[in-house]
Structure 1
Amino acid sequence: MSNTLLSYALLILLAAIWGSSFLFIKVALGSITPLTIAAGRIALAGVILFVIMRVSGHHLPPRGRHWLFIGGAAALGNVLPFSLISFGERHVDSSLAAIMMSTIPLFTILMAHIMTDDEKLSTEKSVGVAVGFVGVVILIGPAALLDLGAQTVGQLTIACGALCYALSGIISRNLRHLPKLQSSAAIMVVAALMIVPIALIYDRPWTLSPTAIGVTSVVMLGVMATALAQVVILWILQMRGASFLSLNNYLVPLFGVFWGAVFLSEWPGTHVKFAFAIILLGVLIAQGGVTKLLHPRRKDVRKPVT
């Protein structure tokens, strides 16, 4: 298999794995609390990635300022989003949760404008973000935003998880100087040290009565949707880089909807499909996709919005 075919196969595999996480969360919620689900998957993934790192002959990063960014990435890239998505899915279908993740690139563009000096909003990015968030409003429903019921709160909670992912991505740019396997293992270990005590104190998981399928779902989340996914990410980054990996923003929600429909009979309504299409259109515009399609040889020079 050529490197090109292998990279696309890995990209599809990663999207399928990540997309399945929303299904496993929904199933686990039948007998396990949200914090315990998040703590279980993070702890399992932390152990696995640490072992892989050590077997590969590496150690955790040395002392230094980068541990502040590792802590930030652990909290914003794992602890908070895993917990928020699990809480949100108590009231929201897994397929809808997956669709909400398509907003990550929009949040990333907005946060990069605020937090960086060299990634300011251009006219094209501004239009794309505006279109994308119109899709979010359609998805949640304008009336629902005025009357915050359980499902609306669940959707907004998941959207906050997407925002956390975006912030984590920006913070993680400060770890580029570290070997990726070391930083990934360190982030997951720190995330486990953060959330496991919280889950033990607030959830008291030993008082729960989890079903076999619930425990299996948490194991699948930790081993496959977190640890294995991270290994695939590192492989893709080594082969094709971050720009190629970002194509997952389009694929993960599609797989999330697919798994929810196949295993949970969650069939999105017409307005959900329409909203999803609007969000993806916004992401495409914001990432310069329309300009590249119309002017494939034109140099991308965009004036920042002041």
Structure 2
Amino acid sequence: MSSQNAGAAPSTPAPTPAFILFNLLICSFLWGSAFLFVKLSGDLNPFVLAAMRGVIGGTTLAMWFMLQGKSILPQPHEVKVWAFLGTFNGWLPNVLVAYALTQIATAPAAMIQASSPLVVAVMSHLMFADERLSLQRLFGVLVGFIGMGILIGPAALPDSGINPLGMIAMVLVACSYAAANVYVRTVKTMDPGRMALGQQIGSGSAATVLALLVAGPSAFAPVPVHVAPLLALGAMSTALPILFFMHMIRRTGPTRASMVGYLAPVWTILLAVLFLNESVGLRELLGGAVVLSGVALVSFTGRLRRAR
């Protein structure tokens, strides 16, 4: 999800509230459905799952570019960007998510991933002079990490029934997405659409090579059995929301568009309860609410400060 932070100023005419709400709901639903389709993809090797997601997502975006008569080949100055985003916003978190969902339920996984903006805030504080944490934003970060403690803490207790490796994997996912988001802010001259395309091409290519090296060609044998959820994962939950988001960010600007990150976990939890027969306990609800409260405090406080 890194192209989420690279957008241009909104264009005229100004978007209506109905347009903003509709696009936020659709985009967040599509991204939130990814966890469901990962679960429905069965016991595929995590590298194979990441490879198929990247290849299908990249193919979908490439077709969209070609329909517009645009090149899908990287320019020399784009190779490094495509490789970085393909790793930290592509195959690496995709592999970790696929592994984590074999160990823990989708609801806590989605809530932990939603903490990524907190990591972004800390990394930005360390890297960018104009992104120092104010006391209010620091409070938001602390609140968010308290929520993380509520979600993850019980996994450290013996006989808790919670797999700590799954929790750790999702923390690494949040850190990986955060690294990509911070990196995108340093890329000044590349169109966000080409970053999204390069991210998927880089992700699918690298994950396919790694899957062949780590798991071998035989690991791809179960793919035809799970082709339906894989197509949905790659096209509907990866490529399509990126296209919606690029359109939305150009009309509404990055401030409103980033609300997608707050809504996606809600859809993930609803889909898990409806289609995966998962239950959500009080601890998960409390921890998720605290995490999202911290994220909101960090995000909105920073935006208000920059708007003055």
Please give the range of the TM-score, normalised by the shorter of the 2 chains: 0.7 to 0.9
What CA distance in whole angstroms lies between the structure 1 residues aligned with 2:223 and 2:91? 24
- Within-5 A mapping of 1:151-166: 151-166=163-178
Structure 1's unaligned 5+ residue stretches are 293-298
Q: AA paired with 2:144?
A: G
Percent of aligned pairs with the same amino acid: 25
The letter of the residue matching 2:118 is: L
Aligned to 1:222: 234
Contact 1:104–1:249 (CA under 8 A) maintained in structure 2: no
Q: Say yes or no: does 1:196 pair with 2:208.
A: yes
> So what's the TM-score if we normalise by structure 2?
0.87
Could you tell me which residue of structure 2 aligns to residue 300 of structure 1? 305
CA distance in 1, matches of 2:250, 2:237: 20
1:6 matched to 2:19: yes
Are 1:21 and 2:34 an aligned pair?
Answer: yes
1:167 aligns with 2:179: yes
Paired letter, 2:76: R
Report the alpha carbon displacement of residue 71 of structure 1 after superposing the two structures with TM. Answer: 1.6
Deviation of 1:33 after TM superposition, in Å, equals: 1.4
Q: Is the 8 A contact 1:74 1:191 kept in 2?
A: yes
Distance 1:301 1:86 in 2: 37
CA distance in 2, matches of 1:191, 1:81: 10
User: What's the counterpart of residue 80 of structure 1?
Assistant: 92
Amino acid at match of 2:155: A
Q: Kindly provide the CA deviation profile for residues 152-185 of structure 1, in whole angstroms up to 9, marking residues without a partner as x.
A: 1101101110111111111112334222222221
TM-score, with structure 1 as normaliser: 0.88
Q: Aligned residues, how many?
A: 291
* Alpha-carbon offset, residue 215 of structure 1: 2.5
Root-mean-square deviation (Å): 2.3
Q: In the alignment, what sits opposite 1:98?
A: 110
- C-alpha separation between the residues in 2 aligned to 1:207 and 1:144? 31
**Deviation, structure 1 residue 301:** 7.2
Change (3 A) 1:31 1:301: closer
Report Cα offsets for 1:99-136 as digits up to 9, x if no partner: 11210111110111122232122111111111111111
Could you list the per-position Cα deviations for residues 205-246 of structure 1 after superposition, in whole angstroms to 9, with x for gaps in the alignment? 534653766321111111111111111111111111111111
Aligned to 1:295: none
1:275 corresponds to which residue?
287
Contact 1:61/1:178 (CA < 8 Å) preserved in 2?
A: no
Would the aligned equivalents of 1:107 and 1:163 in 2 still touch at CA under 8 Å? yes
Residue 145, structure 1, aligned to residue 151, structure 2: no
Report the alpha carbon displacement of residue 4 of structure 1 after superposing the two structures with TM. 3.0
Structure 1 runs of 4+ aligned residues shifted over 4 Å read 146-150
- Asked if structure 1 preserves the Cα contact closer than 8 Å seen for 2:35 and 2:106, the reply is yes
Give the structure 1 partner of residue 75 of structure 2: 62
- TM alignment of 1:21-60, pairs within 5 A: 21-28=34-41, 30-59=42-71, 60=73
